[in-house]
C-alpha cells in the first residue's frame, strides 16, 4: 500500500508518502511537492520521479486534495479509488501505471484538467460529459473507446486529445 519515493520520503531519497504515519503532519514542511492550505494537503506535485511508486488509492484519504500531478512516476492503482478526493480539480497521471474505468471520475464535478495519456485506463470517454468544468482532457495512447460527440455538452472544454485511442465520432465544434 501507500506511495513511496525512497528512504526518508522528505527529500526524494526513499520512503515517501507511504512512510507518512497517522500522526505525521504532512504540512509541517520538509515534504517537497506538497501544497497545503488551512493545515491540510490541497496539492501534490511529484512529477517525473521514477522512484515514486505505490497505489493512488492511498491519496483518497485527502478530501481537500485539489491538485494531483504524478505524471512520469510508477504510481499504480485504480483511478476510481480517488473518489474520496472530492475537491479534485487537476489530475495528471500521464505515463503512470494507473488503470480502471474512466467513468469512475464522472461524479468528480470539480475536475477541470484530466491527463491520463499513456495509462491503462478504460471505459467510455463520453462518460465524462457530466463534468461541467472540464477544460482539458488527454487520453492519448489509451484504449478508451466511445463517441466524443457526448463531450460537446461541456462548454468549458478547450483541449481534447483522443489520438491513439478507440474513441470515435466527429470532432467537437470549435468556436
**Separation of alpha carbons 52 and 46, rounded Å:** 8
According to the model, what pLDDT value does residue 174 have? Answer: 53
**DSSP secondary-structure letter at 62?**
-
For 68, residues 6+ apart whose C-beta sits below 8 A from its C-beta are 43, 44, 59, 82, 85, 88, 90, 91, 92, 93
Q: Which residue has the higher pLDDT, 174 or 43?
A: 43
Question: pLDDT confidence of 8, banded at 50, 70, 90?
Answer: very low
Is the pLDDT score of 15 beyond 70? no
Question: pLDDT confidence of 132, banded at 50, 70, 90?
Answer: very high
What is the rounded average pLDDT for all residues in the chain? Answer: 82
According to the model, what pLDDT value does residue 104 have? Answer: 93
Dihedral of alpha carbons 20, 23, 26, 32, sign: negative
Q: Which residue has the higher pLDDT, 169 or 109?
A: 109
**Separation of alpha carbons 82 and 103, rounded Å:** 12
CB 46 within 8 A of CB 70: yes
- Best CA proximity match to 124, nearest among 88, 85, 156, 169: 169
Question: pLDDT confidence of 39, banded at 50, 70, 90?
Answer: confident
CB 51 within 8 A of CB 12: yes
Cell (9 digits) for 165 = 485511442
Cell (9 digits) for 3 = 506511495
pLDDT digits (tens, 9 = 90+) for 41-71: 899 998 888 788 889 888 888 889 999 999 9
* Parallel/antiparallel/unpaired status of strands 90-92 and 67-69: parallel
Query: What mean pLDDT do residues 93-118 have?
Result: 95
Amino acid at each position: 500500500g501507500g506511495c513511496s519515493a525512497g528512504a526518508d520520503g522528505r527529500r526524494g531519497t526513499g520512503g515517501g508518502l507511504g512512510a507518512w504515519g497517522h500522526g505525521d503532519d504532512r504540512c509541517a514542511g520538509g515534504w517537497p511537492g506538497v501544497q497545503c492550505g488551512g493545515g491540510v494537503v490541497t496539492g501534490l506535485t511529484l512529477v517525473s520521479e521514477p522512484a515514486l511508486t505505490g497505489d493512488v488509492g492511498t491519496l483518497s484519504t485527502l478530501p481537500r486534495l485539489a491538485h494531483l500531478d504524478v505524471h512520469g512516476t510508477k504510481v499504480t492503482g485504480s483511478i476510481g479509488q480517488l473518489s474520496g478526493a472530492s475537491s479534485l480539480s487537476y489530475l495528471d497521471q500521464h505515463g503512470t501505471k494507473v488503470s480502471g474505468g474512466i467513468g469512475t471520475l464522472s461524479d468528480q464535478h470539480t475536475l477541470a484538467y484530466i491527463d491520463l495519456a499513456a495509462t491503462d485506463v478504460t471505459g467510455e470517454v463520453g462518460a465524462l460529459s457530466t463534468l461541467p468544468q472540464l477544460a482539458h482532457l488527454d487520453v492519448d495512447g489509451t484504449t478508451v473507446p466511445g463517441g466524443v460527440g457526448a463531450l460537446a455538452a461541456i462548454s468549458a472544454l478547450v483541449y481534447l486529445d483522443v489520438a491513439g485511442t478507440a474513441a470515435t465520432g466527429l470532432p467537437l465544434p470549435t468556436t
